[in-house]
Structure 1
Amino acid sequence: MATSRLFITALFAFSSISMATPIENLRTLFVPAPTGRAIEPRSSSATGWHKRSEPHPDGSSYVVKQENLVLGLGRSTRREPEGFTVAFFKPDVAIDAMGKVLKVKADDFSALVDKAYETVGLPQSDLFGNLWSVKQPVSDLAIDRLLTAGSSSSIDQQHIISVYGHDGVTRELEEPVGGYTELPESLNDILTLGKEAREDYIFGEEDTAVVDAANAVLRKP
Structure 2
Amino acid sequence: MPPSSGRIVRLCLSPSLPPAKSAHSVCYYAKLAFVRPLFFAFTAFIGAYFLFFRSPSFRSSSTNRFGEDYFAMSLPSAKGWHARAHMHPSSATFVPSRGKLVFAVLLNAPADPEGFTVALFRPDVAVDARGRILQVQPDDFAALADLAEQVNRLPETGSFMTAWRVAHDRTDQPIDRLFVPVPGGKEIKQTSVQGWHPEKKKLKTPVADYTELPAVLHKLLGDIKEARTDYQRGQEENKDLIDQIKALVQFE
Per the normalisation by structure 2, the TM-score is 0.68
Measured after TM superposition, the shift of residue 79 of structure 1 is 3.6
For residues 173-184 of structure 1, what are the structure 2 equivalents within 5 Å? 173-184=203-214
Correspondence for 1:200 among 211, 230, 252 = 230
Cα displacement (A) at 1:61: 4.4
- Aligned CA distance change for structure 1 residues 105 and 50 (closer, same or farther; 3 Å): same
User: Structure 1 residue 147 and structure 2 residue 147: aligned?
Assistant: no
Segments of structure 1 that go 5 or more residues without pairing to the other structure are: 1-34
Q: What is the CA-CA distance between 1:123 and the residue it aligns to?
A: 1.3
2:202 maps to which residue?
172
Match of 1:91 among 123, 127, 138: 123
Deviations 1:56-104 (A, max 9, x none): 1233542111211011111112343321100000001100000000000
The answer to which structure has the higher helix fraction is: 2
Establish whether residue 123 from structure 1 lines up as the match of residue 123 from structure 2: no
What is the Cα deviation at residue 187 of structure 1?
0.4
Q: C-alpha deviations, 1:146-201, integer Å up to 9, x for none? A: 111123561x2x22211100022110000001121100110000011111100121
Q: C-alpha distance in 2, partners of 1:40/1:212?
A: 36
Amino acid at match of 2:148: A
Asked whether 1:55 is paired with 2:82, we answer: no
State the 1:44 CA deviation: 4.7
Counterpart for residue 6 of structure 1: none
Residue 76 of structure 1 corresponds to 108
> Are 2:248 and 1:217 aligned?
yes
Specify the alignment match of 1:24 in structure 2: none
Question: Is 1:187 matched up with 2:196?
Answer: no
- TM-aligned CA distance change 1:45 to 1:127, over 3 Å: closer
For the aligned residues, what is the CA RMSD?
Answer: 2.1
- Give the secondary structure class of the aligned counterpart of 2:151: coil
- Structure of greater Rg: 2
Q: Which amino acid aligns with 2:214?
A: P
CA contact (8 A) 1:52 1:105 kept: yes
Q: Following TM superposition, by how much is the alpha carbon of 1:118 offset from its aligned partner in structure 2, in angstroms? A: 1.4
Q: Which has the higher contact order (CA 8 A, sep 6+)?
A: 1
Q: Distance in 1 between matches of 2:185 and 2:135?
A: 22
- Aligned with 2:113: secondary structure? coil
**Percentage of pairs with the same residue:** 37
Question: Structure 2 vs 1, CA of residues 165 and 65 (structure 1 numbering), >3 Å: closer, same or farther?
Answer: same
Counting only pairs closer than 5 Å after superposition, residues 15-30 of structure 1 correspond to structure 2 as none
User: In 1, distance between residues paired with 2:152 and 2:185?
Assistant: 17
CA contact (8 A) 1:135 1:174 kept: yes
Q: What secondary structure, in the 3-state scheme, does the structure 2 residue paired with 1:82 have?
A: strand
Corresponding residue for residue 7 of structure 1: none
Tell me by how many angstroms 1:40 deviates.
Answer: 3.7
Q: Secondary structure at the match of 1:81?
A: strand
